[in-house]
Amino acid sequence: MKKEKVPILEHELVPKHEVLGEEAVAELLDTYKIKKEQLPKIKLSDPVIKEKEIKADVGDVVRIRRESRTAGKALSYRLVIE
Amino acid sequence: MGRRLVARGKEEVMEKLRDVELELEEEITEQIKEDFLPLELTVTSEEMSELFTEEAYAEDIAMMLGRAEEGEIKQGDIERKVNKSGLPEKIKVELKKKLKAVRTELSWEKLDDILSKVVAEYEKAKVDPREAVGIVAAQSIGEPGTQMTMRTFHYAGVGAIYITLGLPRIIEIVDARKKLSTPTMTIKLLEEYASERNKAEELAMKIQETHISDICNIKASTEDKSVWLSLNEKELERRYIKREEVKAKMKDMGTDVQVDEMGDGQLRIHKEGIESFHELSKLERDVSKKLIEGIEGIKRVLARREPGGEYVLYTVGSELKRLKNQKIEGVDFKRTTTNNIAEIAEVLGIEAARNAIIEEMINTLNEQGLDVDARHITLIADAMTMDGEVKQIGRHGIAGEKASVLSRAAFEVTVDNLLEAAVHGETDALKGVTENVIVGQPIKLGTGAVELVVGK
């Protein structure tokens, strides 16, 4: 059988994930006056990262563009952990 | 791809700049160059198109020339002004629609006035700092929860698929159970399959697990030490399975397995080296368990016509991972979901699990005729998925991981928690609510979080 990868990011339940650049991370942490570790987490073994949908490593911050019921669109961030 | 788009975006900027140069002469071009060229273009193509719209550009230039906000208000002006307001997307969309409807009656002052009032109202509606949102969420779900029936099971449509609903379902979700009492998948189909009943039903049968025992009578014969299968033609037809497929599947069982077609339509399965009755009955068991078609664990599949005219498959049993890996033609995996949140977390990731928690909880509450604000449920979903995995709200999850000893002890298994803390010599910083209530101090919430300092 033909092995065709199912792109997880295209599933309707999965919002858009993208890795944040260093400067953007610094800006984010400064806006909320927090440390990286205070962000919500995403595991390195998470399918979105593991199946190479996005390229991320431990310590990276992933920006998630959520569809929000109340705001329409919302940004959220997760720190990649082991 | 991304890099090329960025490069193209840069070209566009340059092109625009050239146009501007011609139009505005030298004095400000130098200024623009200084402002724009050092820009490191690491934005995505999407953001790029948002940033460099015709309107935005015209605005920036108009601003520099000091001739903005005069004359007639155009659609683009409203668009631009609202976009800059920093309001949430949904409010922006609504506001734009309403403003555009009265565009001709607006003046620049009125527009600014309306915008600042909307922003002020929005700021007012925000949750105050230090407000106990968790407690509010708990109460907001707890109170309507008392009106839910304790044991409600429900049919999904015409067929006899049971789904746990009501309070038991809510408990299942917040407990982050891995084994559900009624796991079910909702499989959406690709267009050509979704519109035709026959195709949808054929696909349903392809997904439903079919074992040998479902489609034929099995007899073990001690005479020739073989297992005899008499296929049930009706069942085969109903399940869209061909005789040859059954034969091929049986041959897969091993190189030492021999499948013969006998004269009366029966299949004889013979395995080499079978001597004892015990071995024969083992072969019989193996044969009857052999999966002919479908996904192991999917007990039943029903095709149902949705109000929109689309056929959707509902299953008894949930195997999202197997469904994804098998890639059955006709299944629209991108729109396929399950009520098992643990499976979603495993196959689609933590963000999908968060969405699934919200969807499932809101649907369960709505089905019972209860209307809970999505924000409370969102908060619960956020708390449950905070650490990158789905955690239950309870002793083994969020409440069990609190930093405070007293808080943990107050929640459940008091003695165990205190003993454990004593053994490890834990300290309690008295920062949370529960601990401070226990020791009789004001809690650090709402007004309790603010301390007054008199004088300098």
Q: What is the CATH number of the domain that holds A45?
A: 3.90.940.20
- pLDDT-derived band of residue A3, with 50, 70 and 90 as boundaries? very low
Q: Tell me whether A28 touches chain B (CB under 8 Å).
A: no
Residue B165 Rama label (left phi>0; alpha psi -120 to 50; beta): beta
With residue B281 as reference, give the H or E element that holds it.
helix B277-289
Angstrom distance (rounded) from CA B17 to CA B71: 26
Residue A30 lies in a domain: yes
Comparing alpha-carbon positions, the chain A residue that sits nearest to B359 is A13
Residue A3 lies in a domain: no
* Cross-strand pairs, A72: A68
- Residues B267-279: tens digit of each pLDDT: 888 877 777 888 8
* Cross-strand pairs, B308: none
What is the distance in angstroms between the Cα of B387 and the nearest Cα belonging to chain A? 5
Q: Tell me whether B387 touches chain A (CB under 8 Å).
A: yes
Residue B354 to residues A18, B90, B170, B202, B361, Cα–Cα distance (Å)? 17, 21, 15, 33, 11
How buried is residue A60: exposed, middle or buried, by Cβ count under 10 Å (0-12/13-18/19+)? buried
Contact state of B348 with A11 under an 8 Å Cβ cutoff: yes
Contact state of B349 with A40 under an 8 Å Cβ cutoff: no
- DSSP letters spanning A13-26: TPPEEEEPPHHHHH
Residue span of the structural domain in which A29 resides = 14-81
Angstrom distance (rounded) from CA A37 to CA B176: 24
Which residues in chain A have Cβ-Cβ distances shorter than 8 Å to B89? 68, 71-74
For residue B140, what pLDDT is reported? 92
Q: Is the ipTM beyond the 0.90 threshold?
A: yes
Comparing alpha-carbon positions, the chain B residue that sits nearest to A14 is B352
- DSSP letters spanning B120-155: HHHHHHSPPTT--HHHHHHHHHHHHHTTS-SSEEEE
Who among B356, B378, B388 is closest to A43 (CB)?
B388
Who among A14, A41, A72 is closest to B348 (CB)?
A14
Mutate to test the interface with A, among B1, B327, B351 (most CBs of A within 10 A): B351
Task: Retrieve residue B170's tokens.
Answer: 């809510």
Q: Is the pLDDT of residue B8 over 90?
A: no
- Residues B188-245: tens digit of each pLDDT: 999 888 888 888 888 888 898 888 888 888 888 877 788 888 888 888 888 888 877 8
- pLDDT-derived band of residue B52, with 50, 70 and 90 as boundaries? low
Computed over its alpha carbons, how large is the radius of gyration of chain A?
14
User: What amino acid occupies position B116?
Assistant: S
Q: Is the pLDDT of residue B389 over 50?
A: yes
Q: Tell me whether B178 touches chain A (CB under 8 Å).
A: no
What value does the mean pLDDT take over residues B102-114?
Answer: 86
Q: Tell me whether A63 touches chain B (CB under 8 Å).
A: no
- pLDDT-derived band of residue B130, with 50, 70 and 90 as boundaries? confident
What is the distance in angstroms between the Cα of A46 and the nearest Cα belonging to chain B? 5
Q: Is the pLDDT of residue B3 over 50?
A: no
Contact state of A14 with B89 under an 8 Å Cβ cutoff: no
With residue B197 as reference, give the H or E element that holds it.
helix B197-207
For residue B391, what pLDDT is reported? 92
Residue A54 lies in a domain: yes
Total structural domains within chain A: 1
Residue A45 lies in a domain: yes
Contact state of A42 with B93 under an 8 Å Cβ cutoff: no
Angstrom distance (rounded) from CA B306 to CA B314: 11
Angstrom distance (rounded) from CA B63 to CA B32: 12
What is the distance in angstroms between the Cα of B203 and the nearest Cα belonging to chain A? 17
- b/e sequence B2-22, b meaning 16+ C-beta within 10 Å: eeebbeebeeebeebeeebee
* Torsion on CA atoms B334, B337, B340, B342, rounded to nearest 10: 10
Which residues in chain B have Cβ-Cβ distances shorter than 8 Å to A71? 88-91
How big is the CA angle at B318 (ends B315 and B324), to the nearest 5 degrees?
A: 100
Residue A53 lies in a domain: yes
Task: Retrieve residue B385's tokens.
Answer: 């998925």
What value does the mean pLDDT take over residues A59-67?
Answer: 92
